Structure 1
Amino acid sequence: MIRKILYLLVAAAFIAAPVEFFARQRFPELADRRQFAELSFIRLLNSGVVYRPGSNYDERFGFLNNPHIRETVRTDEYRYTVATNSLGFRTHEITPKPPGQRRLMLLGDSMFFGVGVDYPATVAGLLETARDSLQVYNFAMLGHNTVQSRIAARAFADQVGPDHIVCGVFIGNDLLTNALNYPDENNHIATHLDQVAASRKRLAAALAPFTWSTALRVAAYSVYIPRLRYQWAAAPDIIAATCDHLAAIANTATTVGSTFATVLIYPKDAVAGGPVEIWSQSRRPGRRLAETCRTRNIEIIDLLDHIEGPTDRDRYYYAQDGHLNAAGNQLIANLIAKHYLPPPATTQR
């Protein structure tokens, strides 16, 4: 019996040794425990949460694009041009509202920003084309969360004078950071540093069984941390934090005489369903958020009510990048127009 056990141990070592060697060579950044811990926390949040002075730093929002830029972004999947206004947003300059003009204010992250598409094919550009006399001000920004959307609404809604405010929430990375950030008394982004420390400690405990081997760290980083992200994001206190921020935006909308609605956008694997979604449970936080927000009378467009399955994933998302493609932007523009904007006036004969 002892010989059999020794034989199995030796055989396991012969298998594990080359796997570990390959992992260390292929993923050297995960071989160091401190670096593994930092990278794991970044992957868990899938977004920034603590902002410090540096490139594109902004005191109010944490970071913004530079004002008055015009640059073309190229990848293997797309090519698009970004132009920003004097505030650093991909939108019009704020001007006095003329009589008869209707305005819509968009808030959100890169999903509403329009990654991969030129302005006419963004949600904002498409809505302006679909409705006469409608001007859309898009304050969505790469990497922003719902807290920064709340700050933007409070900062600019009175100047814009919108008839409608629509905020996009991306289930893939907004919910956890929404619980860690908050607007301070000056309407600037701030961070619950004690909660960040507690989250780091909790993550370290969850990853403890994987830390003794680089190969196991690679496995944890690739497939286990995304599962943790969505498990934690579905917790009642995390859901409540996002609902609180959305309720605050709704209050701002009411103050300026605007309607308010939220669009819930899911990662492409959540839309596709199947084994990856079953493992990660990436649909559950969005469904819980929709249910909770509706009990608080927050209008919700849940994207999963309109698209589902691998075909829709391939139709509406970039395969590698994961952002909404031109068809995805068109889908959301159509949903917003259908639910919240009256149809164009017809000519009487």
Structure 2
Amino acid sequence: MPPVRRWIRRLLVACAAAFAGLVLAEGALAVFFPQPIYDIYIRDAVRGHRLEASAVRHCRTAEYRVEVRTNALGIRDREIGPKRAGERRLLCLGDSFTHGAQVSRDETFCQVLERSLGEPWEVVNAGIPGYETAHERIFLHNDLWGLEPDAVLVNFYQNDVTGWRVGADGDRLRLLDGNGAFLPAPSWHSRIRNRLCSRSHLYYIVWRALRDAHVWREAPDAQADPEAWSATEGNLRALVEECRAHSIPVGVAVLPWYGRVLQESVDRNDVHRRVPEVCAAIGVPYLDLLPSFLEDGRASLYYRIDGHFAHDGHALAAQEIERFIREQGWVR
């Protein structure tokens, strides 16, 4: 057999073996270690991304199986109609920790809080995975005032500092103004990546590992990077000022990272020191949930692999948030 044909044959055999290996790996992951993939994200020209409205998806991993439903606003809540006479609404802004795709809707801290407060209070879950303060202030300004909230709670997580540079799909974000508003630079490869992430367990786990490595490689720089904290403070200040313009009380809750609670890791972004300083400068009340989570210390507060709140974490967060808003006089 001529050398060229031998090389072609070897190449074809190698490609076939690689393809078979990928198929086997994909199948094994789907059965034994499924990833949290559910195709519910839509690219948005203003916010970068949003959730598909009135959608039903099922999120299944090795740790949980959850049905996720969105309403007409594209948030994980019931359909929200006009306010009834005497009804009060607390609007919760946040990211995937607030959204709570790892537990049933009834187990999210928003719903636990609503049941504990009782009538006339309704707690609206406006958490969107991948959002941070820049997304949240745009979302509030453009879409959420029609809900007529009586109070707004901004749920802050540590990647609200590093996340302003990296979008939910891994794209770098282009800052547009001094307040840190942004639009993602459109790219054909990000659309392909999003499609693969929503369909392939193998691709998702590799992409997530690479993305997290990129984010955490930059994380130590964020605590020393004045621009990162300036963008964060600018967006939070703009959000707070808009609430005040509507005569609506607003507060900030700092949600702790599982590594800080369960593994005694260092607060790499210095969030639990810097956020209180930012809130003091803005003049907005804040709640740091870290002391309560450290005192509790149960491993069941978080999903160990996923890293988000489990049932007990949502329950503890709801308990502490209720105490906070009662202290602020929002609920009497």
Q: Separation in 2 of the partners of 1:304 and 1:317?
A: 13
Code of the aligned partner of 2:219: Y
Q: Separation in 1 of the partners of 2:57 and 2:114?
A: 23
Deviation >6 Å, runs of 4+: 221-224
Where 2:293 maps in the other structure, the secondary structure is coil
Q: How does 1:72-221 map to 2 (within 5 A)?
A: 72-131=58-117, 132-171=119-158, 173-178=159-164, 189-191=182-184
Where 1:120 maps in the other structure, the secondary structure is helix
* Residues 293 and 344 of structure 1, relative CA distance in 2, 3 Å threshold: closer
Q: Separation in 1 of the partners of 2:123 and 2:77?
A: 8
RMSD: 3.2
Larger Rg: 1
Pairwise CA distance, 1:56: 1.6
Residues 173-226 of structure 1: CA deviation (Å, up to 9, x unaligned): 221233656577xx9852599xxxxxxxxxxxxxxxxxxxxxxxxxxx799866
TM-score by length of 2: 0.69
Code of the aligned partner of 2:304: A
TM-score by length of 1: 0.66
Identity among equivalent pairs (%): 26
Query: CA contact under 8 A between 1:113 and 1:138: conserved in structure 2?
Result: yes
- Equivalent residue number for residue 308 of structure 1: 294
Where 2:127 maps in the other structure, the secondary structure is coil
* Residues 344 and 61 of structure 1, relative CA distance in 2, 3 Å threshold: closer
* Residues 99 and 143 of structure 1, relative CA distance in 2, 3 Å threshold: same
Pairwise CA distance, 1:79: 1.5
Query: CA contact under 8 A between 1:164 and 1:259: conserved in structure 2?
Result: yes
Query: CA contact under 8 A between 2:161 and 2:269: conserved in structure 1?
Result: no
Is 1:272 the equivalent of 2:252?
Answer: no
Query: CA contact under 8 A between 2:41 and 2:50: conserved in structure 1?
Result: no
- Equivalent residue number for residue 202 of structure 2: none
- Equivalent residue number for residue 317 of structure 2: 332
Pairwise CA distance, 1:289: 2.3
- Equivalent residue number for residue 17 of structure 1: none
Q: Separation in 2 of the partners of 1:145 and 1:343?
A: 24
* Residues 64 and 283 of structure 1, relative CA distance in 2, 3 Å threshold: closer
Query: CA contact under 8 A between 1:153 and 1:252: conserved in structure 2?
Result: no
Residues 29-72 of structure 1: CA deviation (Å, up to 9, x unaligned): xxxxxxxxxxxxxxxxxxxxxxxxx9621223212221111222
Is 1:318 the equivalent of 2:310?
Answer: no
Code of the aligned partner of 1:325: A
Q: Separation in 2 of the partners of 1:176 and 1:344?
A: 33
